[in-house]
């Protein structure tokens, strides 16, 4: 029971890291990304493959996952941040689908549909590995919170908000909107990569279906639920959306129906949250 | 950049500028100079091409033909951020503030955007005070009345510490009290900088400008000192005729 | 040669998907993901109903269901949210949420396993014929023919009926259309009804040819949206783009295993956007180079 609690808390921390990083991309930079789940997946694969296939140590694996995901994210952003909002969303959605296809089919690199198993965790001496992971996740989530809070309040964060609201105005004042956005997306991707590495440790086994579109939608739901403007809200969104399905699991839903049912809950939550937010906005005005 | 841009506080020379939209000749063969350190007024009836000219100067549009010489560089066709970083900064007829950011944050955008970093506290407070915005510094800019939003926008462009300021109807829609602040801001800026001021309020143009250029249907009708322009029958004709 | 034929056949089917989507997209500018759910819903509706009420009634039922779902999305989601000032991208996300709800409801009730139905008129449609030296099933040919005919019908409808003219007016200039007395809201509903009907038929076609599962809709939507974006959202342009995609996909089969096939539309989309982005940046670079030369000269 206590181990199970450890797992749930660690998972909530991992997704809090993911949603805080998407919060920068969406809430500050205004970039509606539907690739965040698959960026997390890329981080998980980099960590999983390096530690199991290339004999890299877990610590180095985490760093590689962060850096590698940031680089791939920057590449995606470089060709897409100039698009209008919806086109950007579709492009990131397409990227999500493409990466899953590659993970499934490029078996010589990714082990294909078999997935990557026996992924090692960070360990120090002979401490309980699940407890270690919990502590690492808590610590990293706290650090991420501090970092992203500082970033949101910084001049960079203000410029991102301004370029999301009126890019032409920012350019006319000398702001390099394209590079601001690419940087924001790369930083957000680094967060996703970190969450991915931790996710791979927690799960111990990863396979392509884990990172299909629904994961991006789940992280998006966390950010929207928490309110796109607040980093703390992103944490709250992650805690609620990890917590609800875990509670549902206790309410005796069998394993088969828990999957779709969970998705239905997320889908409805997205619709209702947007509806309620718009409603309160219009009734205030 | 080149050695020539060393004369950063330079004037702007517009040579034979052209811009059409489909069949509409919005700016047609316009030439004039905004000398360094001077304030030039740009007037003309609605639709005469004033905003289009500013859009060309600021790099929002690429001219069909013509040159915009500034410190020895041709600005024509450069991207807006390059032009702004070279010291030519504009405002719009609309305030275009960021509604969710506070007034102080909005003003800071001017300095941040050109890569100057967060302005220091003293400079920030001085600018807010001069603009009469101290009391609302921490209010979300979107909740201010229109006139104050425009003041925010002008303060923001000043925070970018421009050499040349392009102002598109800064006084339109303002109360008499707000106008005083804007006029004071412009007056203070022109002691060190160059201004191109578009407005319909000829009284203020006459008060602030060393020189006035009149546009009509995209072409330059005439130019001269304010005292001469105000008595020019052809100008009176296009405005009231 | 046979690859060319297969490419053309799947291109026609893609064309139907794209035409149905772009009909709605042109008039509303909504990235209507529920369209993917309409596709699967029609197929499941037919699959559930046909043993109970027979093939013809089941097909009618499935298509009514399609129209209800598509129009419902407009009336219950998009319209109220747009009235509250939802941006296009918010509508997109809401649509994605609704799609997820429908897909998983289907999976919750009937499971994830693929479903198929017996081919109607099997004595004719299950025979093989030789065209251009390649063997194809009559069913595939018939589906391509139906897709082509429906698309042709749609083009003719848009061009020569008054409702079609109104749809075109709303597409080009919604405000002007409103002023000239066209009921824009009703026209939008009409495009949702028409587009949903067409994608419903496409859903039945896939059910009969290869079978369907709850997640079949999204790849269809991706093909439709890619063709629509590349075809500049025109009903004709997106059809041409679809044929091109069908042929590209066939050509890809020469070099890649069939498992990579779903990557095709995505790769085309990303390639298209990258080229677009490169062009945009190239223009800027040229501008800078020119400017630098001017400075030097
Ligand atoms: N983007 C555009 N596309 C098409 N036509 C345009 C565009 N921008 C300006 N025009 C046209 O160019 C002409 C000049 O417009 P402009 O906005 O420069 O006038 P203005 O002098 O600023 O007028 P006002 O005093 O009303 O602000 C007008 O006929 C206008 O309709
Ligand atoms: Mg104007």
Assigned domain for A170 exists: yes
pLDDT at residue B4, as a whole number: 37
Assigned domain for A164 exists: yes
pLDDT at C282 over 90: no
pLDDT average, residue stretch C149-171: 87
For residue A145, the tally of other CB atoms under 10 A from its CB is 17
Range of the domain at A162: 2-210
User: Does the beta carbon of C72 lie under 8 angstroms from any beta carbon of chain A?
Assistant: no
Q: Are B186 and B15 in contact (CB under 8 A)?
A: no
Residue A248's pLDDT band, with cuts at 50, 70 and 90, is low
Q: Which two structure tokens, joined as six digits, stand for B65? A: 């033909």
pLDDT at residue C8, as a whole number: 87
Give the separation between CA A184 and CA A21, rounded to whole angstroms.
9
Q: Give, using CA atoms, the residue closest to atom 10 of ligand 1.
A: B26
pLDDT average, residue stretch A20-33: 92
The pLDDT mean for chain A works out to: 87
pLDDT at B36 over 80: yes
- B93 CA from centroid of ligand 2 (Å): 7
Tens-place pLDDT, residues B91-135: 999 999 999 899 999 999 999 998 877 777 788 888 888 888 888
Q: Name the residue among A220, A267, A279 with its Cβ closest to that of C101.
A: A267
pLDDT at residue C173, as a whole number: 80
pLDDT at residue A241, as a whole number: 80
What's phi and psi for B211, nearest 5 deg? Answer: -155, 145
pLDDT at residue A197, as a whole number: 96
Taking contacts as CB-CB distances below 8 angstroms, the residues of chain B near A173 are 84, 89, 109-110, 113-114, 156-157, 160
Assigned domain for A171 exists: yes
Q: Which atom of ligand 1 is nearest to B50's Cα?
A: 21
Judged by CB atoms closer than 8 Å, whether chains meet at B72 and C288 is answered as no
Q: Which residue of C has its CA nearest to A81?
A: C277
Tens-place pLDDT, residues C106-121: 999 998 888 888 777 6
pLDDT at B2 over 50: no
Q: Are C170 and C184 in contact (CB under 8 A)?
A: yes
Range of the domain at B196: 5-77+86-240
Whole-number Cα distances in Å, C164 to C57, C156, C168: 28, 9, 6
pLDDT at C259 over 80: no
More confident residue, C89 or C147: C147
Assigned domain for A186 exists: yes
C neighbours by CB contacts (3+ pairs under 8 Å):
A, B
Q: What part of C 234-293 touches B (C-beta under 8 Å)? A: 284, 287-288, 290-291
User: Does the beta carbon of C173 lie under 8 angstroms from any beta carbon of chain A?
Assistant: no
What's the length of chain A? 285
Q: Which two structure tokens, joined as six digits, stand for A270? A: 């997205």
pLDDT at residue A261, as a whole number: 81
Q: Are B18 and B175 in contact (CB under 8 A)?
A: no
Assigned domain for A278 exists: no
More confident residue, C288 or B134: B134
How many independent structural domains does chain B possess?
1
pLDDT average, residue stretch B37-64: 93
pLDDT at residue B170, as a whole number: 93
pLDDT at residue A96, as a whole number: 92
C65: Cα separation from own chain's centroid: 17
**Closest to A238 (Cα-Cα) out of A258, A218, A209:** A218
3-state secondary structure B126-179: HHHHHCCCHHHCCCEHHHCCHHHHHHHHHHHHHHCCCCEEEEECCCCCCCHHHH
pLDDT at A61 over 90: yes
pLDDT average, residue stretch A246-265: 65
ipTM confidence score? 0.89
More confident residue, A125 or B20: B20
pLDDT at residue A72, as a whole number: 96
Judged by CB atoms closer than 8 Å, whether chains meet at B101 and A229 is answered as no
Chain C: give the shortest CA distance to residue A136, in Å: 33
Q: What is the DSSP string of B179-226?
A: HHHHHHHHHHHHTTSEEEEE-S-HHHHHHH-SEEEEEETTEEEEEE-H
What's the length of chain C? 297
Tell me which residue has tokens 């995901």.
A69
pLDDT at B144 over 60: yes
pLDDT at residue B7, as a whole number: 37
Under DSSP, is residue B20 helix (H, G, I), strand (E, B) or coil?
strand
Taking contacts as CB-CB distances below 8 angstroms, the residues of chain C near B76 are 291
More confident residue, C131 or C249: C249
Q: Name the residue among B72, B77, B82 with its Cβ closest to that of C290.
A: B77
Q: Which atom of ligand 1 is nearest to B61's Cα?
A: 1
For A24-33, A160-169, A236-245, which range has the lowest pLDDT when averaged over its residues?
A236-245
pLDDT at residue C289, as a whole number: 43
pLDDT at A78 over 50: yes
Assigned domain for A215 exists: no
**Closest to B7 (Cα-Cα) out of B40, B30, B35, B42:** B35
Angular region, C131: left φ>0, alpha ψ -120 to 50, beta rest: beta
Ligand nearest to the CA of B91: 2
Taking contacts as CB-CB distances below 8 angstroms, the residues of chain A near B156 are 173
pLDDT at C284 over 60: no
| Range of A230-239, A272-281, C251-260 with top mean pLDDT | A230-239
Residue C288's pLDDT band, with cuts at 50, 70 and 90, is very low
**Closest to B200 (Cα-Cα) out of B51, B28, B16:** B51
Judged by CB atoms closer than 8 Å, whether chains meet at C295 and B82 is answered as no
Tens-place pLDDT, residues C173-208: 877 887 777 888 888 999 999 999 999 999 998 998
Taking contacts as CB-CB distances below 8 angstroms, the residues of chain A near B101 are 158, 161-162
For A114-128, B46-60, C59-73, which range has the lowest pLDDT when averaged over its residues?
A114-128
Q: What is the CA radius of gyration of chain C?
A: 21
Q: Are C32 and C25 in contact (CB under 8 A)?
A: yes
pLDDT at residue A47, as a whole number: 96
Tens-place pLDDT, residues A201-229: 988 899 998 898 888 988 888 888 877 77
Judged by CB atoms closer than 8 Å, whether chains meet at C90 and A79 is answered as no
Judged by CB atoms closer than 8 Å, whether chains meet at C273 and A213 is answered as no
pTM to 2 decimals? Answer: 0.85
For residue C146, the tally of other CB atoms under 10 A from its CB is 17
pLDDT at A259 over 90: no
For residue C131, the tally of other CB atoms under 10 A from its CB is 14
pLDDT average, residue stretch C23-47: 93
User: Does the beta carbon of A224 lie under 8 angstroms from any beta carbon of chain C?
Assistant: yes
pLDDT average, residue stretch A120-132: 79
Judged by CB atoms closer than 8 Å, whether chains meet at A267 and C86 is answered as no
pLDDT at residue A43, as a whole number: 97
Q: Which atom of ligand 1 is nearest to B52's Cα?
A: 18
pLDDT average, residue stretch B40-56: 93
Assigned domain for A63 exists: yes
| Range of A257-261, C101-105, C278-282 with top mean pLDDT | C101-105
Q: Are A170 and A17 in contact (CB under 8 A)?
A: no
Angular region, A254: left φ>0, alpha ψ -120 to 50, beta rest: beta
pLDDT at A186 over 90: yes
Assigned domain for A140 exists: yes
Chain B: give the shortest CA distance to residue C285, in Å: 9
- Here the CATH number for the domain that contains residue B199 is 3.40.50.300
Percent of chain B clearing pLDDT 90 (strictly above): 66
**Closest to A16 (Cα-Cα) out of A246, A247, A208, A225:** A225
Tens-place pLDDT, residues C85-94: 887 878 888 9
A285: Cα separation from own chain's centroid: 33
The pLDDT mean for chain B works out to: 89
pLDDT at residue C277, as a whole number: 66
The HSE-up count of residue C17 (CA atoms within 13 Å, CB side) is 34
Burial of A84 (0-12, 13-18, 19+ CB in 10 A): exposed
3-state secondary structure chain A: CHHHHHHHHHHHHHHHHHHHHHHHHHHHCCCCCCCHHHHHHHHHHHHHHHHHHCCCCHHHHHHHHHHHHHHHHHHHHHHHCCCCHHHHHHHHHHHHHHHHHHHHHCHHHHCHHHCECCCCCCCCCCCCHHHHHHHHHHHHHHHHHHHHHHHHHCHHHHHHHHHHHCHHHHHHCCCCHHHHHHHHHHHHHHHHHHHHHHHHHHHCCECHHHHCHHHHHHHHHHHHHHCCCCHHHHHHHHHHHHHHHHHHHHCCCCHHHHHHHHHHHHHHHHHHHHHHHHHHHHHHC
Q: Which residue of B has its CA nearest to C289?
A: B78
pLDDT at residue B64, as a whole number: 92
How many independent structural domains does chain A possess?
1
Q: Which two structure tokens, joined as six digits, stand for A253? A: 């839903």
Q: CB under 6 Å to ligand 1: residues?
A: B 21, 24, 26, 44, 46-52
């Amino acid at each position: 029971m206590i181990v199970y609690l450890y797992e749930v808390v660690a998972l909530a921390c991992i997704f809090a890291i993911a949603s805080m990083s998407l919060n920068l991309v969406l809430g500050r930079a205004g970039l509606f990304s539907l690739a965040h789940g698959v960026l997390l997946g890329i981080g998980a694969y980099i960590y999983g493959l390096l530690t199991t296939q290339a004999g890299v140590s877990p610590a180095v694996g985490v760093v590689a996952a962060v850096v590698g995901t940031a680089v791939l994210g920057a590449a995606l952003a470089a060709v897409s941040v100039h698009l209008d909002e919806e086109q950007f969303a579709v492009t990131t959605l397409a990227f999500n689908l493409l990466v899953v296809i590659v993970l499934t089919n490029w078996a010589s690199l990714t082990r294909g549909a078999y997935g990557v198993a026996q992924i090692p965790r960070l360990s120090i001496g002979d401490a309980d590995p699940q407890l270690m992971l919990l502590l690492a996740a808590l610590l990293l989530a706290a650090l991420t919170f501090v970092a992203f809070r500082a970033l949101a309040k910084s001049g960079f964060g203000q410029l991102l908000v301004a370029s999301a609201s009126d890019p032409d105005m920012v350019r006319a004042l000398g702001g390099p909107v394209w590079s601001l956005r690419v940087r924001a997306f790369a930083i957000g991707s680094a967060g996703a990569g970190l969450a991915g590495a931790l996710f791979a440790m927690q799960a111990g086994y990863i396979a392509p279906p884990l990172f299909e579109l629904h994961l991006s939608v789940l992280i998006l739901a966390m950010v929207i639920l928490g309110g796109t403007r607040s980093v703390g809200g992103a944490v709250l969104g992650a805690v609620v959306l990890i917590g609800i399905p875990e509670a549902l699991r206790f309410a005796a839903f069998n394993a088969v129906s828990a999957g779709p049912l969970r998705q239905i809950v997320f889908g409805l939550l997205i619709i209702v949250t947007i509806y309620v937010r718009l409603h309160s906005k219009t009734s205030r005005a | 950049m080149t050695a020539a841009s060393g004369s950063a506080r330079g004037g702007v020379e517009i040579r034979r500028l052209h811009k059409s939209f489909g069949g509409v000749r919005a700016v047609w063969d316009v030439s004039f100079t905004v000398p360094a350190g001077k304030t030039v007024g740009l007037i003309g009836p609605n639709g005469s091409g004033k905003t289009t000219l500013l859009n060309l100067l600021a790099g929002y549009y690429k001219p069909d033909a013509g040159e915009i010489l500034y410190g020895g560089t041709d600005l024509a066709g450069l991207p807006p951020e390059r032009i702004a970083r070279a010291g030519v900064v504009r405002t719009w007829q609309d305030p275009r503030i960021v509604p969710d950011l506070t007034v102080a944050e909005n003003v800071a955008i001017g300095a941040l955007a050109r890569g100057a970093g967060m302005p220091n506290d003293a400079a920030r407070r001085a600018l807010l005070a001069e603009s009469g915005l101290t009391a609302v510094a921490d209010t979300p800019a979107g909740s201010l009345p229109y006139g104050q939003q425009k003041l925010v926008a002008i303060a923001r462009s000043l925070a970018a510490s421009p050499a040349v300021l392009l102002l598109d109807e800064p006084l339109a829609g303002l109360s008499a009290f707000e106008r005083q602040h804007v006029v004071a801001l412009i007056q203070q800026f022109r002691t060190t900088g160059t201004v191109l001021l578009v407005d319909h309020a000829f009284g203020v143009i006459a008060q602030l400008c060393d020189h006035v250029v009149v546009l009509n249907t995209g072409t330059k009708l005439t130019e001269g000192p304010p005292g001469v322009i105000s008595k020019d029958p052809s100008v009176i004709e296009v405005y009231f005729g | 040669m046979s690859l060319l034929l297969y490419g053309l056949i799947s291109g026609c089917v893609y064309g139907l998907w794209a035409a149905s989507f772009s009909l709605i997209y042109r008039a509303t500018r909504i990235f209507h993901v529920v369209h993917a759910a309409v596709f699967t819903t029609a197929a499941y509706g037919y699959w559930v109903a046909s043993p109970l009420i027979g093939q013809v009634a089941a097909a009618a039922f499935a298509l009514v269901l399609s129209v209800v779902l598509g129009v419902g999305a407009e009336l219950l989601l998009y319209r109220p949210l747009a009235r509250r000032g939802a941006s296009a991208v918010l509508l997109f996300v809401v649509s994605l949420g609704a799609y997820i709800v429908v897909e998983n409801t289907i999976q919750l009730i009937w499971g994830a396993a693929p479903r198929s139905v017996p081919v109607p008129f099997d004595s004719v449609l299950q025979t093989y014929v030789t065209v251009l030296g390649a063997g194809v099933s009559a069913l595939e040919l018939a589906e391509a023919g139906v897709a082509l005919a429906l698309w042709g019908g749609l083009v003719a409808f848009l061009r020569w009926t008054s409702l079609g003219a109104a749809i075109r007016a709303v597409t080009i200039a919604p405000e002007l259309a409103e002023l000239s007395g066209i009921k824009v809201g009703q026209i939008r509903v009409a495009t949702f009804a028409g587009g949903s009907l067409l994608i419903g038929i496409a859903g039945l076609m896939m059910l009969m040819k290869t079978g369907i599962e709850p997640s079949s809709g999204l790849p269809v939507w991706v093909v439709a949206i890619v063709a629509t974006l590349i075809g500049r959202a025109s009903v004709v342009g997106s059809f041409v783009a679809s044929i091109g995609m069908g042929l590209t996909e066939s050509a890809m089969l020469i070099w890649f295993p069939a498992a990579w096939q779903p990557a095709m539309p995505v790769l085309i989309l990303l390639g298209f956007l990258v080229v677009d982005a490169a062009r945009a940046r190239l223009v800027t670079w040229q501008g800078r180079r020119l400017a630098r030369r001017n400075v030097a000269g």
